[in-house]
Every structure is written in structure tokens, then in C-alpha cells.
Amino acid sequence: MFLNEFEIKQSRIFFEKGYLISEIQEKESLKYISDFFVNATSSYSTNIKINENFLDTLNDIHNSINVEELNSFRLFIIDSMAKDKKFREHYYFLSKNLLDIVVGNELAMQNRVNLSIQMPNDDSSLLPIHADTWSGDSPFEAVVWMPLVDCYDTKSMYLLSPEHLSKITNFKSGDEKSNDLFEYVKDDVEWIKIDYGQVMIFNQSLPHGNIINTTSETRWSMNCRFKSLFSPYGDKGIGEFFEPITTKPMTKLGLNYNFPF
């Protein structure tokens, strides 16, 4: 493989751990998205306390929005994200350095960026252990996961590393309940520690999920799938779920080429 030393090292880490975490290099894109969430949150309700510190506003949102209102609030923010013409572009640039190494530079991106908001002790926002490939996603996809607050312990997500993936193969349960599966592997999962200002790319073929957030702060995180433009698609195809975002000139010329004779 024609890779430089840094790319070789990062690739090795990704194979071993199933993820990479990097400081966000595109500070303008980070500011754009941070400003977006301040504006979207404040426009939802005048009852929300907007702190001078951006992280405090999001960490303490459960003091302004109750659990019963959470889904409506989250959908309002997601709808605002979808309407913002530059949001996905900035999201891509947040992780471009990681995507170039892990996935490639000619990419298809999920049409919508997802948002998770998990308040303390809330059991309505749980994502049981799963791998995206178990429900038809392509194994060629990677997930870019970005926190909007510092995430740690149960305020974060967990990931089962490739080292322990064989435990899934050996798992036996009469009804294959996800709770049983998590209990079976919980000592082997890694709780991702990642701070605001960092971004993670992970292999969505690895089992992952979350549990009840037992911290005193609310978790905010976004996720979006990326894949190499010409790699195989699963149940979610190009056009309906993915959109080409970095098509190169020779690809465009090749796709439009007509033999002259």
C-alpha cells in the first residue's frame, strides 16, 4: 500500500480499536455548527436558559426542557439542521482528515445528519446494542460521530472492539434479546471518552449502543454515515439515502463518456 507513515499508523489503530478520534482541524466549521445549535436552541423557546458558555447551555438543557418535551425539541432541531443548506458541508469538513484515511476522498454522504440528546436518568433515548450491518447497512460504511459536549462513561456510547468480536459469534440465547447480549459482552465494551472539539470515526459493523445516562449532564451528539462512492451499497442506496459529495473530475468525465465511433 502506498501510504505515508502517519496514514499507516492511523490505519493500524483503526483496525485494532475500531475507531479513530481526532481534534477538529476545521475550526470555522466547528464554530458554524456550534453557533447553529445556540441559535436553534434559543429559537425553540424563550424559556431555555442560554448560558455564556456554549457547553453549559447544552449540558444543562434538562433544566429547561423536560423528558416529555424532549422528542418534540429534538425533532425541531433536526428539522432546522435539514433546512440549513451548509450544515452537512460543514459536518463533512469536521472529519475530512479522518475520512481521507479511513474511507477515501471520493465519497457518498448520508442525506441527513442524526442528532441524539440523552438527558440524565432518561430511559426513553436508549439505543440497545446493535451493529448497523445487522439491519441491512453496507459494511463499507463508516460513522462520523461528533459530540457537542464532553462525553464520558454513561454520558457517551460504547463500542465492542474487534478483539472481542468473536464473543458475538459465540453468543447463545433463546430469544436473542439485546439486553441479554449486552450483559454477555458488557465487561468487554469500551466507553468512548471524547470531548467537544474532537470528532470520531468508527466501524459501524462493530456492536455499539448506549445505556441510561447516570451523570448529571445531558449528552448531545451527532452521527452521519459516509462511504466510498463506488463501494457496494446495502439496503440504503445512493439517491434515497446517500448523496455523492466529492465526485472527482475524471469520474464525472468517465460517467459521461460516449465512444466517438
Using CA atoms, how far apart are residues 221 and 219, in angstroms rounded to an integer?
A: 7
245 is written with which cell numbers? 459529495
Residue-level pLDDT, tens digit, the chain, 261 residues: 799 999 999 999 999 999 999 999 999 999 999 999 999 999 998 788 788 888 999 999 999 999 999 999 999 999 999 999 999 999 999 999 999 999 999 999 999 999 999 999 999 889 999 999 999 999 999 999 999 999 999 999 999 999 999 888 777 554 456 678 899 999 999 999 999 999 999 999 999 999 999 999 999 999 999 999 999 999 998 988 999 999 999 999 999 999 988
pLDDT at 175: 46
Three-state SS string across the chain, please? CCCCHHHHHHHHHHHHHCEEEEECCCHHHHHHHHHHHHHHHHHHCCCCCCCCCHHHHHHCHHHCCCHHHHHHHHHHHHHHHHHCCCHHHHHHHHCHHHHHHHCCCCEEEECCCEEEEECCCCCCCCCCCECHHHHCCCCCEEEEEEECCCECHHHCCEEECHHHCHHHHHCCCCCCCHHHHHHHHCCCEEECCECCCEEEEEECCCCEECCCCCCCCCEEEEEEEEEECCCCCCCCCECCCEEECCCCHHHHHHHCCCCCC
pLDDT at 227: 98
- A 10 A CB-CB count for 65 gives 20
Planar angle of CA 160, 163, 168, nearest 5 degrees: 55
Residue with cell 425533532: 75
Nearest partner of 236 among 144, 139, 127, judged by Cα: 139
pLDDT at 177: 64
pLDDT at 172: 58
pLDDT at 166: 87
Using CA atoms, how far apart are residues 83 and 91, in angstroms rounded to an integer?
A: 14
Q: Phi/psi of residue 170, each to 5°?
A: -85, -5
Nearest partner of 195 among 49, 55, 63, 60, judged by Cα: 55
Using CA atoms, how far apart are residues 4 and 9, in angstroms rounded to an integer?
A: 9
CB contact at 8 A, 203 and 133: no
- Domains of the chain by range and CATH? 7-230 (2.60.120.620)
254 is written with which cell numbers? 468517465
Q: How many residues does the chain have?
A: 261
